[in-house]
Chains A and B, each alone.
Chain A
Amino acid sequence: MTAFAFDLPWPRPASGCAVPYAVFTAQEVFAVEQARIFRGPHWSFVGLAVEVPAPGDFKTTYVGAVPVILLRDRDGELVVLENRCAHRGALVCRELRGRQSRLACVYHQWTYDLHGRLLGVPFRGGIEGRGGMPADFDPAAHNLNRLRVACLHGLVFASFDHDVEPLEDYLGEMVVASIARLCARPLKLLGDQRQFMRGNWKLYAENTRDPYHASLLHLFHTTFGLYRSSQQGATLMDPRHRHTMLYTKAATSSATVDAEVYQDVRSYDTRFKLADPSLLAGRKEFDDGITLVILSVFPNLVLQQIANTLAVRQLCPRDAASFELVWTQFGYADDDAEMDAIRLKQANLIGPAGFVSMEDGEAVEIVQRAVAEAGDAHSYVAMGGGRAEDAAHLVTESAIIGFWEAWRAAMGVPES
């Protein structure tokens, strides 16, 4: 890897970790990320296999900021193609979703099969001896760019780098086991929600690796008595610190401990009781007692279980200062009607209007606004000791530090 394209001094405080705010604002950083992370040797999440159940089904999405098409071919195999005509660069699929037996660009009707192979070019031989493509025109050299694809328990990942390590190696044991725990049964699609955040995508990557903020920013938990930092939980990373799993187990917290811990915290307020607690009615689904999992997979996926809500969140960076977050909620194909109803009611907790998630949109944006012209300033990340280590608790920012180690390794940003 060549040296970083421009100067990005990385401060080294005596303890903890400092992140220069330029990583959230510089378009140059964004451009290098597109090349080294999203078009580099990493796997990006592109969707659920159940979103394209039948041959010819497609959906359009993004790998990084690049438009791609996820589709199922005639044999049922999943294919991901760059959504850009080989001729003059137009989007080949202009719809969000649909079903096609082949792909045709509307601009000049160049037509491709479901593997992206160029099938036909109108007027290739000209009209009445005039015009036409050169005699040495080779259609096979003008296919749609096909990405490498791998599917794990219905989660579809793609990579521009055909030499990328196998998906399961990339994810590591912890992530593979966590995906298996939530997704190793046939999934049922419940629907999507899209949220546009005016902030850098890495602010959200930090957010989902940050259990420290959970009970302090998201006050619904504490206001209505759902969640405490004193609950039993853990913060775990893969060996390369790319991916993080945060989890908690319910009913391991005591009222006395809570009152002490939250004595001076504005969020602790038990005056409020839900008028209709049916929102929280749920069902125990897993024998391990874990009721909350936030699994952040580098670079662009969050897989979550919050009570009985199950969702993938796909990060689609748009530019240095904005990204789209696509929430796809799901259940299991064999859920009964009552379970469907539980998941759909608990869906009030998550998504862009979620009782325990809407604040993240605000948090991302207030950071972006404050760091827009921050010069050489940097953050300070040290809760939990200031090192990228697993923790058997949630009072830590260690996974954020892990993320920045992984990001710098991927980007080639040296120690300074």
Chain B
Amino acid sequence: MDFLALSPLERQYEVEQLLARYVHCIDDDRLEAWPEFFTRRCDYRIVARENAERGLPLATIACDSRGMLEDRVVSLRNANIYGWHRYRHLVGSVLLLEVHAEEIVARSHYAVFRTRGEGVGETYSVGTYDDHIVFDEGQLRFRAKLVTYDTHRIDSLLATPL
């Protein structure tokens, strides 16, 4: 796919569809399919904005391969202990910042509402997605996805990815 050959409307549609599929995958708890949204070598990072704004490199989750994403899922399913919860991601304000023949750079806003075991909901995480999107092995994938969260005081813990 040559992104430059698409109309602006088509590009916007493709990117928003990818983002929608991505958040539905997580929110439907189909985590085993989640790594497939990324290229084999990738850069997935969840970073507190207080670090990003100081130029500090620490990420809360940092994966540089699809294998690391798979390990995260295996660990969540088999090793880690955390309370039952469900996410609903809302993604919006999707801006295509750069369009190249083989890559689109997009920024969007996200908010995640988390419902916990007793049915209590809360705004869990709010921030931005900075995505580098490529056409890879027949589908659109994230070569890089940087999740920068404004809500830097994480409530309890972070298990399910953002």
Measuring CB to CB, which residues of chain A are less than 8 angstroms from any residue of chain B?
96-97, 189-198, 217, 219-220, 222-224, 267, 269, 272, 274-276, 278-279, 324, 329, 340, 344-345, 347-348, 351-353, 355, 358-359, 361-363, 365-366
**A329 adjacent to B58 (CB under 8 Å):** yes
- A352 and B59 form a contact (CB under 8 A): no
State the Cβ distance, B60 to closest chain A Cβ, in Å: 5
Interface size on B, residues (CB 8 A): 35
Q: Is B68's CB within 8 Å of the partner chain A?
A: yes
Q: Are A347 and B58 in contact (CB under 8 A)?
A: yes
Cβ of B57 within 8 Å of any chain A Cβ, yes or no, is yes
29 contacts between A and B (CB under 8 A): A189-B56, A190-B58, A191-B57, A192-B48, A192-B152, A193-B58, A193-B60, A194-B48, A196-B156, A197-B156, A198-B156, A219-B78, A222-B79, A223-B75, A223-B78, A272-B74, A275-B68, A329-B58, A344-B57, A345-B62, A347-B58, A348-B61, A348-B68, A353-B60, A353-B157, A355-B79, A358-B159, A359-B81, A359-B157
Known: A276-B71, A344-B57, A347-B59. A361 touches B80 (CB 8 A): no
CB atoms of A276 and B79 under 8 A apart: no
- Does chain A have a CB within 8 A of B138? no
A interface, by DSSP: helix, strand, loop or mixed? Answer: mixed
Whether B139 sits at the interface, judged by CB under 8 Å, is no
* Residues of chain A with a CB closer than 8 A to B79's CB: 219-220, 222-224, 267, 272, 355
B67 and A275 form a contact (CB under 8 A): yes
Q: Which residues of A contact B81 (CB under 8 A)?
A: 217, 219, 358-359, 362-363
Do the beta carbons of A272 and B78 come within 8 Å of each other? yes
Q: A193-B58, A196-B156 are in contact. List 16 more A-B contacts (CB 8 A).
A: A192-B48, A194-B152, A194-B154, A217-B81, A220-B75, A275-B67, A275-B68, A279-B71, A344-B59, A344-B62, A347-B62, A352-B156, A353-B60, A353-B61, A353-B157, A359-B157
Partner of A358, one of B64, B70, B158: B158
Q: How many whole Å from A50's CB to the nearest CB in chain B? A: 11
Residue among A195, A223, A276, A366 making CB contact with B154, cutoff 8 Å: A195
Q: Quick one: given A275-B70, A348-B62, are A191 and B51 in contact (CB under 8 Å)?
A: yes
Contact (Cβ within 8 A) B157 A358? yes
**B156-A355 in contact (CB<8A):** no
Nearest to A353 among chain B residues (CB) is: B158
B83 interfacial contact with A, CB 8 Å = yes
Give Cα A147 to B121, complex, Å. 40
CB <8 Å contact, A190 and B68: no
Q: Given A195-B157, A324-B153, decide whether A276 and B58 contact each other with a Cβ distance below 8 A.
A: no
| A196 lies within 8 A of B65 (CB) | no
Q: Decide: A365 near B59, CB < 8 A? Known: A193-B48, A274-B71.
A: no
A91 vs chain B, min Cβ distance (A): 17
Asked if B150 is at the interface (CB within 8 A of a chain A CB), the reply is no
